[in-house]
Chains A and B, each alone.
Chain A
């Protein structure tokens, strides 16, 4: 599958925009996960829908986010696991080197394959008018797609976000990569400097280290993943160090320069200066919502540069007929959060089902090794809301299947409202936390409490049995039993 195949699906070069209907029931601006979710939801209700995309369908997630990063992470995990083969009984053998072009070819092949599910032809077949053009509001119920005015009854803005730029002196001059460009690398950098310890920075720092780059990650905070709880972030720090990533916490990059053929990052840690030579720099300090050039003021839509579109809990903007969804209005910039908010915005726009954004307990995950996943409240959030909370923790090192799999770094922690068995949230750190958290999502959606969870039989041995063991710890704690109940 070639680049042409990808473009044929997400941005056909010969594309002709359709003849506009007037007015559309719904115009969606942005063809990423939120926009696609909104458009499909509206079409299922029989509404006329126009979807305007200025670059490629699939948004960041498909083109330069979740999909390519997961494909790289998988390659890195496979290569990394070969290091441990001796422990599992393999004879000594030469450790394979990384064929980076082959890794990237696989990334592109996967991206093209998955693009088929979002292909423009499928959207057309569903009755969605797809426009490839810049969009701009000209008044409350009219926007232009390129030169063409489109009137609408309702609109949803889902223009996503882009990598945040930086004012680090010299950085623009020496050049740097972002998530938009790193997946176009042709060669594996010998030395990679990563600025920023959020989800993407951590994922790619670890993956590139495992592929063979010498990686230094610099984080201007006391821990990685500032939104996650301390133990999760510290486990990640230890894991990255074990892999060989040079981790610099509490460290600020104050300058970048070229010297002797290398890029140098000048850093300061509590007043102590240091310089790090690298071949490539990945800037990963967050994302900023795409609100510029949309004519939002003309549409009566309130927004803030850098913070995004202001919405209420129903995702409605200050224009009662315009909603927003996804990264352009959400603090949690994850693909599943975006897709879900697109669906909610479409439902709320037409009143088919009124849903509050915060009613949905949406899990998210950072795909390092181990993965870090979360749903619902953190203990601190609960305490800030004056909710007495207690946590029930099972260490993966005490879970039989994690031990047999050699994947015993991490934990499952379930937050429970004190004096009840109501589950408020959960954090999971495990090799496959992204899968395990979905069980917590179902449990919380179904309103299952800890007592009932303790009685739900799981297959044995499995890593997901740790979720049941946490509930058993709850029951034991309430009954005064001293230790976690095990099957064998």
Chain B
């Protein structure tokens, strides 16, 4: 794959001076360029971060596979090129070692969270990750639905189905109603306790519709029992603290107007819920209870991401503590004044005005968070390093992949249009008890090539 230029040569207009569409073009393309710069073209693996020696994150591969159709539609890649890279990626996952060996690539159809970029073997003694495998599978299924031609594209479809069918979701329950978060060959199933709403909806939706090793439909209901419907900072919401949990599954699934049993009971849907979560994040920014620099209604985006590390600072006669990479949340915390600069823009499909206002404000006040048009992972205006707010080093693949998809969903709805016709996702949603909205549209029930949107240039 040839590197995609981020198109930000010397003398170009400052980002915050661009009109909305030009700004989105620039930021989306720059985000995509992360993938071209950090992918092993031989096996399709994508680095977790741009830092030297970073392994591959299988979740980032899932995002990347979903971004290639965007790149094709936007002429950043040829369709043939995209199909070839997608096929190599799927072939790697198909042929790589699946076993209980501690250095395998996966087991039971699932994959280890982090893999060596060259060999594709497990690194860091990491876990066989359910949610990251689900994000990978979402990308694999997206590719399988998008590439509807012959040759490589037919091979993509076949491999996509085979890889999905191989995943043993039933095993991942470990005999319980709901799924475990992961497994290690040295230890067995992990027991982190997955309580409350989070990004894992897609795990259940993909698991329920498996024709080979399905989760029982009751499994999703068992998980939703742990949900909490709260009135927080004046807004009703299905609570989850970190912003990304309200975005990840949504990158693939169009939740507008479709409801599961829980949302029917509350008279809402998951799309509206993300809108409420955004409102809470903005309100929290405005209240700024811990007095962090920068925070206001147009400076938000507290989520999982990079942070300044374990350090302390004396400020206003009190101690401030900071954290490294962790999941931050609103309003219960943890909050150390670190935001993810990309997060506001990733909320574009849900509240475009707020997303653009916040992003523009950020680019104007702190242009250093977006070097070459690509957002860094974490920024803390309170903690000064050499006189400026702390800024995360390099770039993170999850951030960039999510941005490409969410900007596209806002501009054309491309990913949602592809996945609405994906039989697996449709069956998973219905199996998990979702009804209404586009699920009631019989025209979407037959799998065929999506009517792709015309691009907004």
Q: A-side interface residues toward B, CB under 8 Å?
A: 84, 86-87, 221-223, 229-231, 234-235, 238, 242, 250, 268, 270-272, 379-380, 383-384, 388-393, 395, 397-398, 408, 411, 413, 418, 473-474, 476-477, 481-484
Which residue in B231, B289, B317, B318 is a CB contact (below 8 Å) of A477? B231
Of A84, A223, A383, which one neighbours B227 at CB under 8 angstroms? A383
Most chain B C-beta atoms within 10 Å of own C-beta, residue among A223, A380, A395, A408: A395
B317–A86 touching, CB < 8 Å: yes
On whether the beta carbons of B230 and A390 are closer than 8 Å, the reply is: yes
Which residue from chain A places its CB closest to the CB of B279 in the assembled complex? A482
Q: Which of A86, A383, A384, A484 contacts B233 (CB 8 A)?
A: A484
Name the CB-closest residue of A to B316. Answer: A87
A388 to B224, CA, bound (A): 12
A370 to B331, CA, bound (A): 16
Residues of A within 8 A of B287 (CB): 397-398
In the complex, 29 of the A-B residue pairs with CB atoms within 8 angstroms, ordered by the A residue number, are: A86-B318, A87-B317, A87-B318, A221-B191, A222-B191, A222-B192, A229-B228, A230-B195, A234-B332, A235-B333, A250-B191, A250-B192, A268-B187, A270-B190, A272-B125, A379-B228, A379-B229, A390-B229, A391-B231, A392-B230, A395-B332, A397-B289, A397-B290, A398-B287, A398-B289, A411-B332, A481-B234, A482-B234, A482-B235
Given contacts A87-B317, A223-B193, contact A238 B333 (CB under 8 A): yes
A111–B356 alpha-carbon span in the complex (Å): 62
For B334, the closest partner residue in chain A by CB is A238
* Complex CA distance for A315 and B350, rounded to whole angstroms: 54
In the complex, chain B residues 173-210 whose Cβ is within 8 Å of any chain A Cβ: 184, 186-187, 190-193, 195-196
Does B127 interact with chain A (Cβ within 8 Å)? yes
Q: Is the CB of A84 within 8 A of B228?
A: no
Give the shortest distance, in Å, between B231 (CB) and chain A (any CB).
5
Contact of B321 with A by CB under 8 A:
yes
Residues of chain A with a CB closer than 8 A to B265's CB: 388, 418
Question: Distance (Å) between the CB of B198 and the closest chain A CB?
Answer: 11
A234-B333, A380-B228, A481-B234 are known; give 14 further A-B pairs, CB within 8 A. Answer: A222-B191, A222-B193, A222-B195, A270-B190, A391-B229, A395-B331, A408-B289, A411-B332, A474-B231, A477-B231, A483-B234, A483-B283, A484-B233, A484-B234
- Say which size band chain B's interface belongs to: 35 or more
**B73 adjacent to chain A (CB < 8 Å):** no
- Top 7 nearest A-B pairs (CB, nearest first) are A222-B193, A271-B187, A397-B289, A271-B186, A483-B234, A391-B230, A231-B332
B residues less than 8 Å from A379 (CB atoms): 228-229
Min Cβ gap A426→B in Å is 13
Residue of B nearest to A268 (CB): B187
> Is B84 at the interface (CB under 8 A from chain A)?
no
A271 near B193 with CB under 8 A, answer: no
Q: A270 — which chain B residues lie within 8 A by C-beta? A: 127, 184, 187, 190
Give B331-343 as 1s and 0s: 1 = Cβ < 8 Å from A's Cβ atoms: 1111000000000
For the complex, what is the distance from the CA of A401 to the CA of B234, rounded to whole Å? 20
A477 contacts B190, C-beta separation under 8 Å: no
